[in-house]
Amino acid sequence: MESKSVSTLSGTIVAAILASSCCIGPLILAGLGISSIGIFSSLEKYRLLFMITTFAFIGMAFYLTYRKKKGTDACCEIKMDRIKKIALWVITVIAVGLLFFPYFYGAFGKSASITLMSENLQKVVIKVEGMTCEACTISINSAFSKIQGVKAVNVSLERGEAIVGFDNDVKDIPTNRLLTAIENIGYKASITHE
């Protein structure tokens, strides 16, 4: 493959990974057993720039792959063109999948590990700053599920808050542990109601 094509395709994948890193990064680190790094959420503000860059690389790759070429060696060039086109389409599908990962993950990655909120629970309302997609709510839900005594969680992206339920027999609700759990995954949190 030409060096322009390879670098364009590589740039496409890198930009797509960066565009979705705010959601993919914490998942990868959690899979590795590292859950207290929230650096990826700081990249979310550059998401639009990374998305535009990804589509610019994809456009350039299509141009370089499908443009008319001057006289070429027919046999070898046809096989190479076919390989380049297949690689381009595969990488385009991967890049678009990475770009829209936060939205797919939010739709299909719902966790049912914590029961629904009921009236007979003590509730703590926590304001959460920095959530940008449904994948964020799933990460927060997961962080709360690891805290002993938590019986129910309701995280709302629209309201920017999480409601955490504890049994009525719990005397000391671990509010500091709740706030620390949120801050460890990269969000700002404050208790608004106990």
**Do residues 137 and 122 touch, judged by C-beta distance below 8 A?**
no
Residue 163: beta bridge partners?
125, 154
- Looking at 106, 125, 146, the residue that finishes a domain is 106
Pull the structure tokens for residue 133. Answer: 């997609």
Q: Are 153 and 164 in contact (CB under 8 A)?
A: yes
Where in the sequence is the domain holding 171, given as residue range(s)?
111-193
Q: What CA–CA distance (Å, rounded) separates 50 from 20?
A: 9
One domain, residues 74 and 99: yes
Question: How far apart are alpha carbons 108 and 134 in whole angstroms?
Answer: 10
Assess whether 60 and 137 both reside in one domain: no
Residue type, 2: E
- Helices assigned H by DSSP within the chain: 3-19, 21-31, 47-66, 74-99, 101-108, 134-145, 175-184
Higher per-residue pLDDT: 106 or 189: 189
Same domain, 120 and 135: yes
Instruction: Measure the CA–CA gap between 181 and 160, rounded to whole angstroms.
Output: 16
Are 70 and 143 found together in one domain? no
The CA-CA-CA angle for residues 78, 82, 86, to 5°, reads: 170
Asked whether the predicted pLDDT for residue 41 surpasses 80, the reply is no
Across residues 125-132, what is the average pLDDT?
Answer: 86
Number of domains in the chain: 2
Among 78, 106, 134, give the residue marking a domain's end: 106
Give residue-wise pLDDT tens across range 134-170. 777 877 888 888 888 888 888 888 888 999 988 877 7
What's the whole-number mean pLDDT along residues 44-52? Answer: 79
Percentage of the chain modeled with pLDDT above 70: 68
Of the three residues 106, 123, 142, the one that is the final residue of a domain is 106
Annotate 68-113 with DSSP letters as a single string. --SS--HHHHHHHHHHHHHHHHHHHHHHHHHHTHHHHHHHH----S
190, β-bridge pairs: 127
Q: Do 93 and 129 fall into the same domain?
A: no
Query: What pLDDT score does 62 carry?
Result: 87
pLDDT (tens digit per residue) in 21-39: 666 666 566 566 555 445 5
Q: Per residue in 80-104, pLDDT tens? A: 778 888 888 998 888 888 777 766 6
